[in-house]
Amino acid sequence: MNRFGILFFFLFVFDDCMYNPIIRKLLWPTETSPNLSFLSVLAFPASSAGTVADSPQTGSTAESQTNEDSTTAPVKTITLNSSSYPVLKNDTVQIVAKLFINGTETSSSFTYSSSNTSVATVSSSGLVTAISNGPAVITVQEANGSTTATGQINVYSGYIYTNLDASNSVVKLTINPINGTLTVDQTVPSSGLSPNGIGVDPYGKYAYTGNFDSDTISQFDISASDGSLSFNRTVGTSIQPRNISISPDGKFLYLATQFSQTIDRFSINASNGNLSLLGTTMVGVSIAQTAVDPSGNYLVALHPIGTQVSSFQIDQTTGSLTLKSTSGTIDSPGLFAFHPSGKYLYVGSNPNITALSIDASTGALAIIGTVNQTVSANGIVVHPSGKFFYTTNIGDGTLSCFAINQTDGTLTFSSNIASGGGDVRFLAIEPSGKYAYLAQKGSPFLFAYLIDQTTGALTGLNSYNVGDGQWNLFIK
């Protein structure tokens, strides 16, 4: 007899014995015999793999049982009333946090901390106080747990800096945060010829202009008290410098040069703002603009063949650039604007505006859609909320608004208005997202607009005489 035959013979005898009262009394003389049968013995090994009983023992609860549901950790998430908080210097903003466990809101207390208390502090109740210009991250943590969430703080002063290339000067204006009106405060010589590009470091301490006809960058110190400019020095560049990009941490400045077809790379001295040339990256095609993504990991520029866009990885220590990706074919690219999330890149071209995705891990670029733009765009910008996209159309002096699909980043035309100016250049949006301002070379007037927070539509507010036509502008 094989081993299976022996097993079934034993089980048969064992089962028969369980129903013989004499044998049962001999085996279990002092307690009730178990209700075992042939089938229950066969089933026993399977049921022994778990510890779930037919009914819990006295004093136990269903949660304390060891089963699949009780061993699965609850899913906890913290949501904030916003992911980013633009806040005017010396003002406050309240962070509101909520804890969800398995999708259900649950009462909880939180702790708050700031990554940079010289920029922004936060109270035990989540009230943020803006101290000085710059970025800071507020971390919110469940008081009795490890679940966290973060909010990005951007402290700004509400100053506009615009360069007047024909008169070789820079003008400083102040924005009224209540109604968006402007006050013209100061005009200073650029100490360079034809200032085109303009940039301000993230902490609002230093301003820079790219001087197209003198192949220099002018450096200015910014007063912490009133934002006024004081000329510091000039630094030599490659031939025909255009627009300036500064990394979000304020460590590096990148300059697009038109004739030399290079990107000049500079380090920024944190203590005095002085620039030191680190090197040049040959692009091999005339370029007017570059852009750094919100994470500071990637820079984009025109590809040498002129109909593609390249992404470069930024070395966080040296500022050097390493080519990572090249896009598909784009008609006449040249203008760049990143979505605040860093997930999408928008490229101004003619006759289309092109939307691309950018992989946060690899820098890979992929075209996700185009939208027709029949007039030539000279400047493009994304609203701080990430909901709207704008073009300044040099071809007919209009401004166009597009809605941004929050799921896939694609664009849909929304509205168009006459700018009121001529030879329109660049549009800048105040960090709160309420107001927009236009630099244009057709007259000495800088234009202000109110932004509809639901549709993104622009409504003209007023214009301000700054003394000459403007090439570019920057808000800090």
235-289 pLDDT tens trace: 999 999 999 999 999 999 999 999 999 999 999 999 999 999 999 999 988 888 9
Ordered DSSP codes for 143-200: TTS--EEEEEEEEE--EEEEEETTTTEEEEEEE-TTT--EEEEEEEE-SSSSEEEEEE
The secondary structure of the chain in percent helix, strand, coil, rounded to multiples of 5, reads 5, 50, 45
Report yes or no on whether pTM surpasses 0.85. Answer: no
Instruction: Output the CATH code of domain 76-154.
Output: 2.60.40.1080
Beta-carbon contacts of residue 62 (< 8 Å; ≥ 6 apart): 56, 70
Q: What is the pLDDT of residue 249?
A: 95
Q: Which CATH class is domain 156-475?
A: mainly beta
Q: What is the pLDDT of residues 432-454, one digit of tens each?
A: 999 999 999 989 999 999 999 99
Q: Using CA atoms, how far apart are residues 243 and 241, in angstroms rounded to an integer?
A: 7
Q: What is the pLDDT of residues 22-41, one digit of tens each?
A: 444 444 444 444 444 333 33
Q: What is the pLDDT of residue 219?
A: 98
Flag whether pLDDT at 59 surpasses 60. Answer: no
Q: Are strands 472-475 and 458-465 parallel, antiparallel or unpaired?
A: unpaired
Q: Using CA atoms, how far apart are residues 358 and 300, in angstroms rounded to an integer?
A: 10
What is the location of CATH 2.60.40.1080 in the chain?
Answer: 76-154
H-helix or E-strand spanning residue 27? helix 21-27
Tokens linked to 448 = 């202000």
What is the location of CATH 2.130.10.10 in the chain?
Answer: 156-475
Q: What is the pLDDT of residue 449?
A: 98
Q: Using CA atoms, how far apart are residues 227 and 157, in angstroms rounded to an integer?
A: 8
Strands across the sheet containing 252-257: 241-246, 252-257, 262-268, 275-282
Q: Using CA atoms, how far apart are residues 275 and 265, in angstroms rounded to an integer?
A: 9
Q: Among 14-18, 72-76, 207-211, 421-425, where is mean pLDDT lowest?
A: 14-18
Q: What is the pLDDT of residue 374?
A: 67
